[in-house]
């Protein structure tokens, strides 16, 4: 019998809410099956089983928020556990499942919110009161304050007859179609990045890279392909970084308990921005062993799921390095903040035509700035520079990727 | 396929990718990627969806003709007759 625990999906996670139980007691469990979904600050994460067996029992009801490490379910893993007596202390005996009634995230001052205090039903003033030159304005205190802050003359405000003016009616705060910024996501980013800047002695390097060959390769590859089979430059750069890491393993792995453990596999975390605010960097597993088409398919799948706010637990916890690309509409250069417990982040600025020297003559080339932020506890600038140059070299021979 | 149909289809597919953008707030003659805040992956997703839905190849070499909402709608109209 083994317990299936609320996983830690990164250093910044303390608790999660079980939102889906995808199997019922008695169902067979296979390693890698998604058996539950957990709501965290980063969205809904699918949790996979780590071993084969039979799901015996759910220990936590749906909708319950529990700390990391809490057993969520028991899984019977085979012969050896048949006679195992129920160890009473093993499974928390209905230990009050920390039933925090899902604490509301602190509401930033600025969010448009429902007015909590309806205006007391004052004396009804007929909408068209003939004797009142300036009819009494029905406005909530918060709206009045906001209007004052914004320098708006109250006399210019109007509400439908019988309605009260709320904050949402104040110009400049008109309701938009955008959802409010996901403050949970911001809190998660804040926690991880603060820890990074507190603990990790970053150093930074930058290198101008000619992207002409890689771009031409992508164009040539896509020429006869239908849209669903096309490559993006991002897949080529991902592979170029992953391959360079094979020779520079000190940038690929995790730093925990005062020591660095390199990873044999490269699970490249792709920084993906979320519409409406926020960022996640889920892993592209085994980046270095996949061909470009497979990688591209995986990237599409990952981006699609990130946009839908749903990814797997391992994708969040197992990335061994992060790659952050500014894409086509960004700026020249970015210096990343390392995502602990990783030890490096590679950045790629927006490629654009720039004068470079080719064969002794100035020529317009598609170029991009490659940057590295790395952990000085693990590596030095010398090796970092060699690592960046190895990425550059790989990008000059894209057909070998 | 009428003008109206193409514009509706395009608006629908854009909404799938950029649900937070109100088409009324965008300029149909301006750069589509700027107006809808879409990156190259989003654009590829859009082209893939439109290509499937309308039975078009939409080669990469034609991307320059798809720079704005109006240009893309015109491109699609010309090919769906």
Per-residue pLDDT tens for A162-201?
A: 666 766 666 654 333 334 355 788 888 999 999 999 999 9
Residue of chain A whose alpha carbon sits nearest to that of B22? A177
Which two three-digit tokens encode residue A211?
């992207």
Q: Which of B18, B40, B51 sits opposite A227 (nearest CB)?
A: B51
| Inside any domain, residue A173 | no
Q: Is residue A103 part of a domain?
A: no
Are A196 and A345 within one domain?
yes
Cβ atoms A42, A280 nearer than 8 A? yes
Distance between CA atoms of residues A254 and A289, nearest Å: 20
3-state secondary structure of A357: strand
CATH number at residue A9: 2.40.50.100
- Whether residues A253 and A388 fall in one domain: yes
pTM above the 0.80 mark?
Answer: no
A265 occurs within a structural domain: yes
Whether residue A111 lies inside any domain: the answer is no
Residues A55 and A198 in one domain: no
A381 & A258 share domain: yes
Listed residues A31, A49, A81: the one ending a domain: A81
Question: Domain total for chain A?
Answer: 2
Q: Does the residue A305 lie in any domain?
A: yes
In this structure, are residues B70 and B77 in contact, taking their beta carbons and an 8 Å threshold?
Answer: no
Last residue of a domain, one of A63, A81, A99: A81
* Residue A343, pLDDT above cutoff 80: yes
Asked if B58 and A233 come within 8 Å (Cβ–Cβ), the reply is: no
Q: Residues A302-325: pLDDT tens digits?
A: 998 888 878 888 898 899 999 999
Question: Which range is least confidently modeled, A105-114, A167-176, A345-354?
Answer: A105-114
Decide if A146 is inside a domain: no
Distance from CA of A76 to the nearest CA of B (A): 42
Are residues A188 and A76 part of one domain? Answer: no
Question: What does the pLDDT look like over A127-138, one tens digit per residue?
Answer: 444 444 444 566
Name the residue range of residue A306's domain. Answer: 183-400
Q: Which of A81, A114, A146 is the last residue of a domain?
A: A81
Residue A347 and residue A232 in one domain: yes
Distance from CA of B2 to the nearest CA of A (A): 24
Residue B81 is inside which H or E element, if any? none
Query: For residue A13, how far is the Cα from the chain centroid?
Result: 13
ipTM surpasses cut 0.85 = yes
What's the whole-number mean pLDDT along residues B46-53? 96
**Nearest residue to A97 via CA among A55, A48, A49, A62:** A62
């Amino acid at each position: 019998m083994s317990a299936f625990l609320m996983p830690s999906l990164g250093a910044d996670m303390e608790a999660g809410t079980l939102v889906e139980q995808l199997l019922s007691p008695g169902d067979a469990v296979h390693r890698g099956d998604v058996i539950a979904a957990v709501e965290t600050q980063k969205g809904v994460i699918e949790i996979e089983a780590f071993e084969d067996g039979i799901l015996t029992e759910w220990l936590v009801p749906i909708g319950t928020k529990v700390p990391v490490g809490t057993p969520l379910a028991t899984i019977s893993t085979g012969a050896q556990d048949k006679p195992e007596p129920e160890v009473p202390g093993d499974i928390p005996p209905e230990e009050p499942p920390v039933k925090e009634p899902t604490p509301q995230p602190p509401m930033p001052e600025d969010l448009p919110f429902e007015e909590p205090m309806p205006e007391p039903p004052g004396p009804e003033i007929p909408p068209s009161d003939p004797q009142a030159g300036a009819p009494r304005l029905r406005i909530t205190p918060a709206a009045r304050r906001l209007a004052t802050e914004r320098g708006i003359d109250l006399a210019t405000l109007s509400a439908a007859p019988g309605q009260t003016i709320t904050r949402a009616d104040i110009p400049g705060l008109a309701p938009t179609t955008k959802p409010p910024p996901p403050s949970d996501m911001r809190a998660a980013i804040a926690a991880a990045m603060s820890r990074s800047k507190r603990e990790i002695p970053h150093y930074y390097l930058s290198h101008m890279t000619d992207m002409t060959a890689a771009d031409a390769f992508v164009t040539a590859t896509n020429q006869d392909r239908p849209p669903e089979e096309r490559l993006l430059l991002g897949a080529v750069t991902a592979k170029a970084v992953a391959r360079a890491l094979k020779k520079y393993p000190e940038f690929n792995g995790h730093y925990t308990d005062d020591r660095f453990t390199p990873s044999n596999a490269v699970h490249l975390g792709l920084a993906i921005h979320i519409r409406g605010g926020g960022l996640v960097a889920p892993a592209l597993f085994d980046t270095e062993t996949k061909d470009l088409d497979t990688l591209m398919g995986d990237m599409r799948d990952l981006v699609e799921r990130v946009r839908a706010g749903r990814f797997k637990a391992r994708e969040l916890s197992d990335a061994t390095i992060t790659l952050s690309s500014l894409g086509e509409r960004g700026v020249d250069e970015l210096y990343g903040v390392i995502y602990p417990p990783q030890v490096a982040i590679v950045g790629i600025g927006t490629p654009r035509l720039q004068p470079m020297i080719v064969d002794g003559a100035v020529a317009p080339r598609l170029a991009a700035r490659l940057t590295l932020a790395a952990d000085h506890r693990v590596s030095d600038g010398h090796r970092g520079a060699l690592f960046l140059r190895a990425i550059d070299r790989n990008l000059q021979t894209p057909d070998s990727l | 396929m009428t003008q109206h149909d193409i514009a509706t289809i395009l608006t629908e597919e854009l909404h799938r990718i950029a649900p937070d953008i109100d088409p009324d707030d965008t300029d149909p003659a301006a750069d589509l990627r700027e107006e809808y805040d879409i990156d190259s992956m989003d654009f590829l997703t859009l082209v893939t969806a439109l290509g499937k839905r309308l039975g078009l190849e939409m080669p990469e070499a034609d991307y320059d003709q798809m720079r704005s909402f109006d240009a893309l709608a015109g491109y699609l109209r010309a090919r769906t007759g």
